[in-house]
Amino acid sequence: SSGPTGGQSSGNASGTRADDSHMQWWRDARYGMFIHWGLYSIAGGEWKGKDYGKEQGGASAEWLMNSAKISGEEYRSTLAPQFNPTEFDAKQWVSIAKDAGMKYIVITSKHHDGFCLFDTEATDYNVMDATPFKRDIIKELSEECAKQDLRFGVYYSQFKDWYHRSRGRQNPGTMSNEEYLELVEKNLDELLSNYGDMAVLWFDVGGNDVIEANAQGARVRELQPDAVICSRLYSRRVPEDQRKYADFESLPDRMLPTERMTQDSETCMTMRHNWGYDRTDDAWKSPKDIIEFLALCGARGVNLLLNVGPTPEGTLLPEEIERLQAVGKWMEVNGESIYGTTSSPVDFDFWWGAMTQKDQTVYLHVLEWKPEGIEFNGIVGKPTKAYFLADPNRESLPLSYDADGHVTKIEVPPTAPDLRNTVIAVQYDA
């Protein structure tokens, strides 16, 4: 149980395994890279001169086929021959994720548009057979992750596919349910058999058919018992206690968690508005925003899966790289306050920010500097030493306590050492 000092309990899927030891790396990792890449990246949110980038609640880059009501035939015949991202370099992408401090990568192996970024026998609508590129993107990335010691996983849209007869509303495809389920089954077997260790199976937009979802979950357990399975295998309408194979709860997209989670959870977040590459989307979040997401997700016990939307050429955008590097530099110094930590000991934020914790230390993520001092309470024990995590000498900051010893005040210099997030480590005696 979480108890008075916070911490996390397991997800609800341990019943399908002997234990939940497969979750430990994921809990410790805290920070991963999401990649939305596919045929839609070529269009970049535009179709026949119209910009769809900000439609559909903003999810239009990878939703283009649906938003622009493009037929399956036209979508494929227009975009697949153009898919030739010759600048794609798995080694570079994985290095960028690693330098950013990320511990795992999840890439769209098939999104709602049905296009497979991997070699598959189940359909010729894939990168090897339908495009001039003819390189197995999932293979190159999975091998590179293994080399650079990052965990690798795939997003797979198991329910929603616009080529299916009834699983896409605006643009009903022709595939029957039987054909579709067979395709998914084959695809999953290939993804789970041909690419080494699959760390994460990131299912999305699940349906209400629990039997169908459970069969897919069971197959994952069978072929990759240690893979971590996303709760979106099931629709939100499936009661939580019936989501047998959901290892972690995927929280609503692009929103900070508002409360401390007691079950394994993850927030996925964009760097701007859209997931897939969009030519006109300029709603960039700042490096400070992202560092704050990391801190606040951590304080609520939630992983952050931060998205990039690579270009048709196969590159990450300079704006993305710049942000990833900035956060990576911060993580180099302050990673101890994120990796392997659990949620804040208290349910609330402070006026200056929020806390994470590990062993006998709490980490104060000071997002708003207060020269008059940083006050906090809620830890079970007496603080003995406070220091800036960025200070290699760990010089003690002066501490004082109020009359009943509940509130601790840390004296700080007038200006913030790091305006984005200065972390103060506070050790305490239990």
Q: Which positions lie near ligand JFZ, rule CB under 6 A?
A: 59, 62-63, 204-205, 252-253, 268, 275
Could you tell me the smallest distance in angstroms from the CB atom of residue 230 to ligand JFZ? Answer: 10
Cβ closest to ligand JFZ, residue 252 vs residue 414: 252
Give the containing element (helix H, strand E) for 29.
Answer: helix 24-29
Q: How many CB atoms lie within 10 A of CB 84?
A: 16
Q: Closer CB to ligand JFZ, residue 62 or residue 119?
A: 62
Two tokens at 354?
A: 């929020």
Question: Smallest distance, Å, CB 43 to ligand JFZ?
Answer: 14
- Please name the residue ranges forming H helices in 100-208: 137-148, 177-193
Q: Which is nearer to ligand JFZ, 20 or 46 (CB)?
A: 46
Minimum Å gap between C-beta 389 and ligand JFZ is 32
C-beta of 246 vs 423, nearer to ligand JFZ: 246
Asked if 213 and 183 touch (Cβ cutoff 8 Å), the reply is no
**Shortest CB 265 distance to ligand JFZ, Å:** 13
Q: How many CB atoms lie within 10 A of CB 411?
A: 13
CB-CB contact of 252 with 222 (8 Å): no
In angstroms, what is the minimal distance from the CB of 252 to ligand JFZ? 3
Nearest approach, Cβ of residue 232 and ligand JFZ (Å): 7
In the numeric block, which tokens belong to residue 124? 């010729």
- The minimum distance between CB 115 and ligand JFZ, in angstroms, equals 13
Residue with tokens 């511990």: 103
Nearest approach, Cβ of residue 238 and ligand JFZ (Å): 13
- As measured in angstroms, the least distance from the Cβ of 93 to ligand JFZ is 18
Smallest gap from residue 28 Cβ to ligand JFZ (A): 23
Task: Please give the single-letter amino acid code of residue 358.
Answer: K
Residue closer to ligand JFZ, measured from CB, 180 or 234: 234
Nearer to ligand JFZ, 20 or 113 (CB): 113
Residues 430, 419: Cα–Cα separation, whole Å: 31
Nearest 5 degrees, angle CA 198-CA 200-CA 201?
95
Of 157 and 341, the one with the shorter C-beta distance to ligand JFZ is 157
Which residues lie closer than 8 Å to 365 by C-beta, 6 or more apart? 295, 296, 298, 299, 337, 353, 354, 355, 356, 421, 423
Q: What angle do helix axes 90-99 and 318-334 make, rounded to 10 degrees? A: 40
CA-atom Rg of the chain in angstroms: 23
CB of 285: closest distance to ligand JFZ in angstroms? 16
Site of tokens 């000498």? 393
CA dihedral angle for residue 416, residue 417, residue 423, residue 425, rounded to 10 degrees: -110
Using alpha carbons, select from 392, 1, 346 the residue that is nearest to residue 362.
346
As given in the structure block, the two tokens for residue 228 are: 């971590």
**Shortest CA distance to 325 belongs to which of 92, 137, 141, 149?**
92
Nearer to ligand JFZ, 156 or 369 (CB): 156
- The residue (of 224 and 307) whose beta carbon lies closer to ligand JFZ is 307
Q: Which residue number, 160 or 221, has a Cβ lying nearer to ligand JFZ?
A: 160
Residue with Cβ nearer ligand JFZ (185 or 253)? 253
CA 246 to chain centre: 16
Select the residue whose beta carbon is closest to ligand JFZ and give its number: 252
Q: Which of 98, 114, 106, 107 minimizes the C-alpha distance to 149?
A: 98
Pull the structure tokens for residue 276. Answer: 């897939």
**Whole-angstrom distance, CA of residue 58 vs CA of residue 88:** 26
